[in-house]
Chains A and B, each alone.
Chain A
Amino acid sequence: MVARLVLQLVVLLLFAPLLAGVIAKTKALFAGRVGPPLLQPWYDLARLWGKGFVVSRTTTWVFFAGPVVGLAVPLLAALFIPFGGLPAPVSFEGDLILFVYLFGLARFFTAIAALDTGSSFEGMGAVREVTFSCLAEPTLFFALLVLARGASGLSLGALLGPQLAGQWQSETGASLGLILVCLFVVLLVENSRIPFDDPNTHLELTMIHEVMVLDHSGPAFGMVLYGAALKLMVLGALLVRIALPFQTGSLLLDLLIFLGGELALAVLIGVVESVMARLRLPRVPQVLVGTTLLSVFALVLVLR
């Protein structure tokens, strides 16, 4: 139990920044560049950790709570989700609600830290981030409902259990395909990727997530980056498990399938970011309402 817990956290902590590196590399290859080395996120983190803080005099302790909670929440949430074939270290009835709202907590603290600086740009970013995530939430819940319909319990471990492999073969396979697409969109929104937000832009008027962390510097900014990488991996675990519901029984093989799935997901995100332009802001709610309706439709399909 404890060994399982430690293993899951170690895998998460060591592997997560690599995903950001893979995304950057894929985008570089698409653009015909060599791109930064795959381990660049690690170097960035090490560099940021060695720097000092620059803190505005208008901020309070809330300003530091943002990065800390942003780093702690993905670690906590990772305990409830199975990593591929590895069962979740902690599991109880209804932990899926906790899983979803842990990320809500992190978002609350990021937004309130952004508001704490008193900068109008950061306030704007906070407003957008909160709006979009509240529109993405119904999609996530309807997708979980679709999974719960075929599962034996209401914990994430049961939802993502070995019954998924059988469901792909049966009539519900189509619904699973639909919610996979919906969850991918939610993943892009939650991790502020193109086409919803551009992690590389530095134009304050258009950016969403990046503008909220503008005032963080040094180790605090490193924690923000690390937390974002962990969040991508934890939310990605949900998709990877639905897409690759294989259970070999051997610990190492299950882990390899899972990590391979995460890498494939990172490449897919890189491809999407390379071939798509950013959506105009008014279009984003439209797309999110569309995915909500798709997931509702998937639910109707499994209910009949």
Chain B
Amino acid sequence: MANLLLLAVILINFFTLGSARLVACIRAVALQGALLALLPLATHGFSGHALLLGAGALLLKGIFIPWLLLRAIREVRIRREVEPFIGFVPTLILGALVTAGAFIFADFLPLAPEHVAGLNVPTALATMFSGFLLLITRRKAITQVLGYLILENGIFIFAVLLSAALPLMVEAGVLLDLLVGVFVMGIVLNQISREFATLNTERLTALKE
């Protein structure tokens, strides 16, 4: 069950790396967040802690943040990512390379014996790398927000392994950080579109009074 969830997460990584349509990408990331909400329950079984963790992830990553992003792109009226720094097929290939690399790298890590067989650690690494790739290869601010969300999803998969030892407060803090980050980026999005009539971030490197 947990392995199937993690496989679906990796497939969604590939999809967001290869797709140009922003709405579809946002929906895919929302689905990824919702799937990850099931992960604590699948790994640790039913407990109050896991339930809280899952509910928090579902509300924030599966529903609230995607809703914010969808509203944001409706306001600034963009539909597609055009001309990424690196094309879609090369990013897909890079994504597959880093995923394979994550699987190989995870075999060398000195993991606790109960984590060696599972897919958690390689998936977490692969998801983080995919998020990084999305962050560095796309021009639109909104896709970069998505990359940031996927990066955080990767960290979440890691954290689920440790959630027995981690107090709930820390996780709540991480989720709150994420929310604030997305809020700030939403405000930045609006500012960029008001100033330049486009959402391309490379204009920001040439700011002057």
Task: Assess the B89–A285 pair: CB atoms within 8 A.
Answer: yes
Task: Assess the B10–A289 pair: CB atoms within 8 A.
Answer: no
Residue of A nearest to B8 (CB): A174
How many A-B contacts at CB < 8 Å in the complex?
Answer: 36
Task: Tell me the smallest distance from the CB of B126 to a CB of chain A, in Å.
Answer: 10
Interface residues as binary, A271-304 with B (CB distance below 8 Å gives 1, 0 otherwise):
0000000000000011001100110110011001
Task: Assess the A289–B99 pair: CB atoms within 8 A.
Answer: no
Task: Assess the A300–B89 pair: CB atoms within 8 A.
Answer: no
B100 at the interface (CB under 8 A from A): yes
Task: Assess the A300–B14 pair: CB atoms within 8 A.
Answer: no
Given the contacts A293-B96, A297-B96, A297-B100, A174 and B7 also touching, CB distance less than 8 Å: yes
Q: Quick one: which of B45-99 are within 8 Å of A by CB?
A: 88-89, 92-93, 95-96, 99
B4 at the interface (CB under 8 A from A): yes
Q: Which residues of A contact B92 (CB under 8 A)?
A: 286, 289-290, 293
Q: Which residues of B contact A290 (CB under 8 A)?
A: 14, 18, 92
Number of interface residues of B (CB under 8 A): 17
Of A174, A285, A286, A294, which contacts B4 at CB under 8 A?
A174
Task: Assess the B93–A293 pair: CB atoms within 8 A.
Answer: yes
Q: Give Cα A299 to B89, complex, Å.
A: 20
Of A171, A174, A296, which contacts B96 at CB under 8 A?
A296
Task: Assess the B99–A297 pair: CB atoms within 8 A.
Answer: yes
Residue of A nearest to B18 (CB): A290
Task: Assess the B103–A300 pair: CB atoms within 8 A.
Answer: yes
Task: Tell me the smallest distance from the CB of A211 to a CB of chain B, in Å.
Answer: 26
Q: Give Cα A294 to B92, complex, Å.
A: 10
Q: Which residues of B contact A296 (CB under 8 A)?
A: 96, 100
Task: Assess the B18–A300 pair: CB atoms within 8 A.
Answer: no
Task: Assess the A174–B3 pair: CB atoms within 8 A.
Answer: yes
Given the contacts A293-B93, A294-B14, A300 and B7 also touching, CB distance less than 8 Å: no
B107 at the interface (CB under 8 A from A): yes
Task: Tell me the smallest distance from the CB of A298 to a CB of chain B, in Å.
Answer: 10
Task: Tell me the smallest distance from the CB of A141 to a CB of chain B, in Å.
Answer: 16
Q: Which residues of B contact A286 (CB under 8 A)?
A: 18, 88-89, 92
Q: Give Cα A286 to B90, complex, Å.
A: 10
Q: Which residues of A contact B4 (CB under 8 A)?
A: 174
Q: Give Cα A301 to B89, complex, Å.
A: 22
Given the contacts A174-B4, A289-B93, A293-B14, A304 and B107 also touching, CB distance less than 8 Å: yes
Residue of B nearest to A296 (CB): B96
Task: Tell me the smallest distance from the CB of A283 to a CB of chain B, in Å.
Answer: 10
Given the contacts A174-B4, A286-B18, A294-B14, A300 and B99 also touching, CB distance less than 8 Å: yes
Task: Tell me the smallest distance from the CB of A151 to a CB of chain B, in Å.
Answer: 22
Task: Assess the A304–B14 pair: CB atoms within 8 A.
Answer: no
Q: Which residues of B contact A301 (CB under 8 A)?
A: 103
> For A171, A174, A290, which residue has the most chain B Cβ atoms within 10 angstroms?
A290
Task: Tell me the smallest distance from the CB of B42 to a CB of chain A, in Å.
Answer: 14
Q: Which residues of B contact A289 (CB under 8 A)?
A: 89, 92-93
Q: Which residues of A contact B7 (CB under 8 A)?
A: 174, 178
User: Can you list 11 A-B contacts (CB < 8 A)?
Assistant: A171-B3, A286-B89, A290-B14, A290-B18, A293-B92, A293-B93, A296-B96, A297-B10, A297-B99, A300-B100, A304-B107
By a beta-carbon cutoff of 8 Å, the part of chain B in contact with chain A is 3-4, 7, 10-11, 14, 18, 88-89, 92-93, 95-96, 99-100, 103, 107
Q: 11 more A-B contacts (CB under 8 A) besides A289-B93, A290-B14, A300-B103?
A: A286-B88, A289-B92, A293-B14, A293-B95, A293-B96, A294-B14, A296-B96, A297-B10, A300-B99, A304-B103, A304-B107
